[in-house]
């Protein structure tokens, strides 16, 4: 349905209600429901009533309605207040999403991923995103076996050593999907971000663990082996401020809202939705996170392997700040190349100024980590 825009004049005549039973005609230029809501919200409170008097209701001019918004305190809807998105060195660029088939051969996975990164860069991608758990089968039995000690350096982590080298040689930013990480006697599902200089810029440990039980469909509990991360992750790169989530993290809109309040222009979710929830929620969640926060959302899944213990849905996707699907694929191996243009964020936020309309007088999003650091 095409949206209609109605313009209201400040000279709209007053409307008198003679009794609660009196019916009135809605002016032809106003849709009935919109008019009724406007009427209810602008009842004059200063009217003095006598036993024989008739309540009078006047329509408030739009200038007054606009002034009412100042009492909403939109700046207080986010505590601390939202951070302005920084202007990165590159504001328009190509992104590559590498949907890869994962095997039980770790060395093969590493070499195959390297080839995919090189191909994406050759096609012009300045930012490349990898899938969740790309160096290992996705199973609780595999996580301890394939886990790497990232903090101990590249000798103890061949997967991240490869990512660092490729990022440096190709001068690209890599959102390194995720791999099983071992640290301090615990296991994590971890995403590493490398800059064009090859340095590790950020490390995100999956915050929301995938514990699900749909009888007759799928049961999986990451918490059997993995430990949840404790820190939301935003990272400044040459291609913008990026928020990082891993798969199940996408279901929690609060995390995306927090990233938007921290000035993120793009949220990347390496993920491996399954054949039950994938068809229902994968695209829906991506579009919701993008349109709610008016930013870009990129996801990258493993390719589908019907013989694997865990079968991924695939469908890696890029969604724009208006909730539009800009690029996607099916379930086979693929390298998707698409374009991100951050001017579209400003355009959409001008079209729909949600930031200025938030009701800070009614609700707040509290970024506990930022609040405690001040």
Indicate which residue of 206, 222, 268, 283 is catalytic. Answer: 206
**Token pair belonging to 99:** 């949907």
- Pairing mode of beta strands 92-99, 78-79: unpaired
Indicate which residue of 106, 126, 132, 300 is catalytic. Answer: 132
The residues near 259 (Cβ < 8 Å, ≥ 6 apart) are 232, 234, 243, 245, 267, 293
For this structure, is 126 an active site residue? no
For this structure, is 247 an active site residue? yes
For this structure, is 123 an active site residue? no
Indicate which residue of 247, 268, 283, 300 is catalytic. Answer: 247
Backbone dihedral angles phi then psi of residue 341, each to the nearest 5 degrees: -130, 105
The residues near 173 (Cβ < 8 Å, ≥ 6 apart) are 126, 127, 128, 167, 193, 194, 195, 196, 201, 237, 238, 239
How crowded is residue 80: how many other Cβ atoms within 10 Å of its Cβ? 14
Sign of the torsion formed by the C-alpha atoms of 198, 165, 90 and 254: negative
**119 vs 96: CA distance, rounded Å:** 9
Active site residues: 132, 206, 247
């Amino acid at each position: 349905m095409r949206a209609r825009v109605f313009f209201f004049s400040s000279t709209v005549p007053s409307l008198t209600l003679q009794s609660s039973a009196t019916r009135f005609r809605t002016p032809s230029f106003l849709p009935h429901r919109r008019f009724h809501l406007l009427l209810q919200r602008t009842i004059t409170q200063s009217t003095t009533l006598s036993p024989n008097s008739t309540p009078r209701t006047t329509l408030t001019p739009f200038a007054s309605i606009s002034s009412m918004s100042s009492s909403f305190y939109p700046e207080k809807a986010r505590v601390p207040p939202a951070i302005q998105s920084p202007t990165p060195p590159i504001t328009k660029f190509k992104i590559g999403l590498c949907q890869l088939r994962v095997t039980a051969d770790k060395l093969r996975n590493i070499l195959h991923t390297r080839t995919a990164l090189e191909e994406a860069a050759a096609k012009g991608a300045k930012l490349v995103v990898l899938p969740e758990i790309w160096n290992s089968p996705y199973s609780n039995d595999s996580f301890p076996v394939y886990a790497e000690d990232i903090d101990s350096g590249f000798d103890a982590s061949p997967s991240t050593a490869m990512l660092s080298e490729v990022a440096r040689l190709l001068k690209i930013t890599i959102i390194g999907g995720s791999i099983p990480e071992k640290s301090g006697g615990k296991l994590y599902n971890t995403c590493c971000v490398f800059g064009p200089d090859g340095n590790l810029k950020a490390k995100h440990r999956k915050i929301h663990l995938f514990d699900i039980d749909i009888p007759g469909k799928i049961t999986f509990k990451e918490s059997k082996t993995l430990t949840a991360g404790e820190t939301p992750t935003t990272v400044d790169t040459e291609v913008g401020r990026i928020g990082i989530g891993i798969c199940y993290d996408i279901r929690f809109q609060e995390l995306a809202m927090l990233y938007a309040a921290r000035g993120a222009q793009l949220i990347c979710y390496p993920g491996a939705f399954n054949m039950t929830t994938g068809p229902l929620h994968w695209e829906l969640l991506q579009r919701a996170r993008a349109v709610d926060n008016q930013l870009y959302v990129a996801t990258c899944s493993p390719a589908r392997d019907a013989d694997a213990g865990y079968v991924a849905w695939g469908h890696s996707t890029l969604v724009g700040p208006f909730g539009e699907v800009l690029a996607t694929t099916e379930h086979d191996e693929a390298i998707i190349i698409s374009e991100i243009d951050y001017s579209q964020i400003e355009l959409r936020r001008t079209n729909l100024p949600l930031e200025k309309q938030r009701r800070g007088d009614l609700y707040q999003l509290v970024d506990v980590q930022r609040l405690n650091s001040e």
